[in-house]
Structure 1
Amino acid sequence: MKDLNYRKGRGAQAYVPNKFLQYVHESRDEFLEFCRIEGEDAHQRKTSYIPIFPKTIVNKVTSPDVGIGYSLNPYQGCEHGCIYCYARNSHEYWGYGAGLDFEQRILVKKDAPWLLEQKLKSKVWKAETIVLSGNTDCYQPAERKFELTRECLKVFLKYRHPVGIITKNALILRDLDILRELSNNSLVMVNVSITSLSEETRSILEPRTATIKKRLETIRILSENGIPVNAMLAPIIPGINSHEIMDLAKAFSENGALSFGYTIVRLNGAIGHIFSDWIKKALPNKADKVLAQIKSCHGGTLNDSRFGVRSKGEGKIAEHIHSLLRLARNTYFKENELPKLNKGLHVQFKNGQLKLF
């Protein structure tokens, strides 16, 4: 049974202090009681959009665990509210909290398409796949209002530049026209994340994401239109969705995904506190067991920062998960492989002429 104070529709259930700030905001009991008597909401619940103007938009990714070289994030913060999201910590660098601030204060990079075009036109830039988004979801609800992702895709198409996409939102189908053109030149691959086949689990883990039915439909429609899809079973959380590995792999395959990837959950930085607070309110009967199993995958702690190990885990529970993943891959994806994206077209579209030598 959920805690009576559980905030439906949000992932994080508390405001978390920013470790970089000198002062901490607290809601004292006297203030909360005053709000109760007056019938007022003690906390801001609406999402706010804050324009920011960075000087660059393409980021080099140095982590060997992520598997991408460059990323582009049109938005910072994410209204999807996935409780386990590693990107929460990055919100602290902008002066906000990793908890509810991450979901309610969305930073919007309105110049993203223009900055991207300057990057792709640069004489020193050589085509390498740029991924939308390595941090926050480029098709989160803010995209309906601002359409920055769509405008960036137009730039990638204009310059015939390879692009990858990571999302858990069916809004990507709005841009099927551009995606088809990119795919005709082997310039795009999409990663669709599905963490569970249970709507009940999704609604508390990822409260403002597309439904499971919509995401499976998204994989199917993209695949039917010749757009290669890699499904992401990420993260695997022992005691919550680890028993679904085979069923998820089967669903991915049946809907046309060519492969799937995974990570085992790790709760780094402020996320350890945020997740622990959440699970004690959302799944109180499972909380101790799940937290203990996560710790068993990371040497007795909620987080392991070692490259090569942190996203895969160690120990008996992690080994069992790895065995299921191998079985799932051999059963449903043995003969499949993802196509390589085309890096050879960009030069002529950047310069306006064919490169002779």
Structure 2
Amino acid sequence: MRRAPAVPDPRGSIRPTTSARTSSRWPRRPRPPVNGVIRLDRRHLYILPTRSGLGFVVLLLAMLTTSLNYNISLGFALTFLLVGIGMSCMWMAYRNLLDLELSAGPVAPAFAGDAAVFVLYARQHDGLARIGIEARCASSDAVDAVSLTLGGTQGNEGTLSIRLPAQQRGRLALPRVTLFSRFPFGMFHVWSYADFPLATIVYPAPERHAPPLPQMSGPGDDDEGAVTTAAEDGIDQLRKYRPGDPLHRIAWKHSARTGRWMSRTGQMPQPLACWIDWHTLPVSMDTEARLSRLCAWLVSAGDSVDIGLRLPGVEIPPGHGAAHRRSCLEALALWPERRAS
């Protein structure tokens, strides 16, 4: 079958053919949350019979035809009874998702090769039990659907943990989520959609059996590599407090014991510093291998060591703590997307 040619537009552009206009006539409308909540109302619930439901309909038609041909009163009664049961199942299936509210939960970062977990909260306000509610992402790479059952208590809330494989570093957005249910008896399939603007950061996969951290240096290192350290008793030298002394220099225990404000005059010990530098790695390593080794060093470094990070276009001064480590890992995950301005 030959495709219809494009029709020239008098204004100079080319209008799409009939088939192209037909395919774009019904775009997928997004379901963004309103005030952080998506409600599955009547306008956004869809229902169709499953294969079991179609088989049940064929059975009812066969029973009705047999009852008409042979004028069987009990056959009519049984057929209409099963029709009523089927209609009740259709309403129960539809009611199982009706007016269910969904909201987004916390999202934790993940490493490449692991699974990123997106948490959704489901809540019902009518006091009716919701049985066998399942959630699945539109992405073909998504893991199997997760199931949830809510009790009959009014205001009952449950969680749906959706796991997505984090195949590569960078940003991982949650695709469209499909909420569906086949309760009861699996004769009807009821579903709806939810589009949450959720995303997480996927860190590079840490290199296995990575070499040890580069040589660490103290804050007082000079050019010749000599390290200056504070005297052991220097931190215990006290004097009277002077206006302007920093708070971390105040000897709180001595001040409380003597009743006078005292300050320390010794040199405060500072943790060792270590720079994790992109340019110190072998030239033969490719980009992802370099990032994996830097990630392994960041993960293995404890809080007793100040870690600094140097990437092409990015430099993070030495620091420690969970927030600093997270900032460095995010820089590795988003490089070269995020560079220092």
Mark yes or no: TM-score above 0.5. Answer: no
Superposition TM-score, scaled by structure 1 size: 0.20
Superposition TM-score, scaled by structure 2 size: 0.21
Q: Higher relative contact order by CA 8 Å / sep ≥ 6: 1 or 2? A: 1
Comparing both structures, which one devotes a greater share of its residues to strand?
A: 2
Comparing both structures, which one devotes a greater share of its residues to helix?
A: 1
Larger CA Rg, structure 1 vs 2: 2
